[in-house]
Amino acid sequence: MEKGRKKILVIVLSVIMTCVSVSGCGQVTKESNEEEVESDAIQIGFSMDSFLIERWQRDRDIFVSKAQELGAEVNVQNANGEVSRQISQIEYFIEKEMDVIVIVAIDGNSLTEVVEKAKRAGIKVIAYDRLILNADVDLYISFDNKKVGTLMGEYLRKMVGEEGTIIRVNGSPSDHNVTLVTEGFEEALQGSAIRIDKTGYAENWLAEVGFDVTSEYLAEDKVPDGIMCGNDDIATQVVKALSENRLAGQVYVVGQDADVAACQRIVEGTQYMTVYKPLELLAQRAAEMAVAMAKGEMPQVSSSVNDGTYDVPYENLEPVAVTKENMDEVIIGKYHQKNEVYLNVQG
Ligand code: BGC
């Protein structure tokens, strides 16, 4: 049967309740019916890492609504940060003969086999936001993660000076984006005498690591000039540790995602910069591409990237640095509302 036009078996259970009236309504009989309904809509399985970080709900909502608008049905599964659960979800999608499987990989190294299995079953696979390594996915769509790191490095370098001291709290080491952000960040510092005095990793993106790394550093009676945070959720914890030491606003903190809390901190002066990634572009483009691929078309992409073994098509989107200066222009009314961002200060 043609993919994308397959017959989906839906069991419709209808319960018919009859009131048999002898005297009043003394007896009720139940009858149930199973019915097969045919759906020829394109079927997309979307396996997500988790919804703990603010952005992912937005990714899901935009993706689902665009895909539905284009006539597809989307089954969203949340792996809750567990690799084995993510693998089972993908296996379930393979069993259900989805047309396309879209994955936010928890661990870029652990999905090679299951992706190969999906591809052998004729299912298209899209790596969403995070690259899946050595798996020859049909498409990788993301923001330029190396550029995210470059922006963080350039903005910190400008503020802390050529001989400043910084510390870093990177994201999850199993997320390939972290490797790319690190590459871009280190490249941006090249040629300066900036000293990276401490580096931590938030396994599974556990933001509290940001609090611990910062507190431990400050406990040594040292104050960094800047702190690079893997994302804004980590920055929340870093700034909490700075606040407890009465240092909030005195250390340049950078992150990514333009979370509402980070945007608030930026206008309030306790975070210097965040990297905004317009999710609308990513999620809508991914949904359009998924639907096209389900129809057997290969959409045009901007470039390709090596996944360790194969060159895979890569749709590469531009991230944008946001500080107090361009907050209104870039974020307000587009990503967050003015009253949310300027909650505690005059806009
Ligand atoms: C994404 C970030 C996100 C992080 C944690 C990364 O792969 O690029 O935007 O904050 O995962 O979910």
C-alpha 234 – ligand 1 centre gap (Å): 11
Query: At 218, phi and psi to the nearest 5?
Result: -65, -30
Kind of pairing, strands 42-48 and 27-37?
unpaired
Determine contact, residues 255/55, Cβ cutoff 8 Å: no
Determine contact, residues 238/252, Cβ cutoff 8 Å: no
Angstrom distance (rounded) from CA 123 to CA 45:
10
Check pocket membership of 171 for ligand 1, CB cut-off 6 A.
Answer: yes
Assign 10 a pLDDT band (cuts: 50, 70, 90).
Answer: very low
Check pocket membership of 315 for ligand 1, CB cut-off 6 A.
Answer: no
- Ligand 1 atom with the shortest distance to the CA of 145: 8
Does residue 51 have a pLDDT over 60?
A: yes
Determine contact, residues 128/141, Cβ cutoff 8 Å: yes
C-alpha 119 – ligand 1 centre gap (Å): 26
Distances, alpha carbon 181 to alpha carbons 32, 186, 219, 264, 336, in Å: 56, 9, 28, 24, 25
Q: Whose CA is nearest to atom 10 of ligand 1?
A: 231
Check pocket membership of 128 for ligand 1, CB cut-off 6 A.
Answer: no
Q: Whose CA is nearest to atom 5 of ligand 1?
A: 205
Which among 257, 234, 204, 237 has a CA at the least distance from the CA of 55? 257
DSSP string, 189-201: HTTS--EEEEEEE
Query: What integer pLDDT is reported at residue 37 of this predicted model?
Result: 55
Assign 12 a pLDDT band (cuts: 50, 70, 90).
Answer: very low
Angstrom distance (rounded) from CA 31 to CA 180:
59
Indicate the pTM of the whole model: 0.90
Taking only the tens place, the pLDDT of each residue in 257-269 is 999 999 999 999 9
C-alpha 296 – ligand 1 centre gap (Å): 30
Check pocket membership of 55 for ligand 1, CB cut-off 6 A.
Answer: yes
C-alpha 169 – ligand 1 centre gap (Å): 13
Taking only the tens place, the pLDDT of each residue in 92-113 is 999 999 999 999 999 999 999 9
CB atoms within 10 A of CB 280: 14
Check pocket membership of 144 for ligand 1, CB cut-off 6 A.
Answer: no
Angstrom distance (rounded) from CA 338 to CA 95:
46
Kindly state the DSSP code that residue 25 receives in the 8-state scheme: S
Does residue 13 have a pLDDT over 70?
A: no
Q: Which residue has the higher pLDDT, 21 or 303?
A: 303
C-alpha 35 – ligand 1 centre gap (Å): 43
Which tokens in the block code for residue 93?
A: 């999608």
Of 55, 179, 276, 281, best ligand 1 pocket probe by most atoms within 8 Å of the beta carbon: 55
Query: What integer pLDDT is reported at residue 32 of this predicted model?
Result: 46
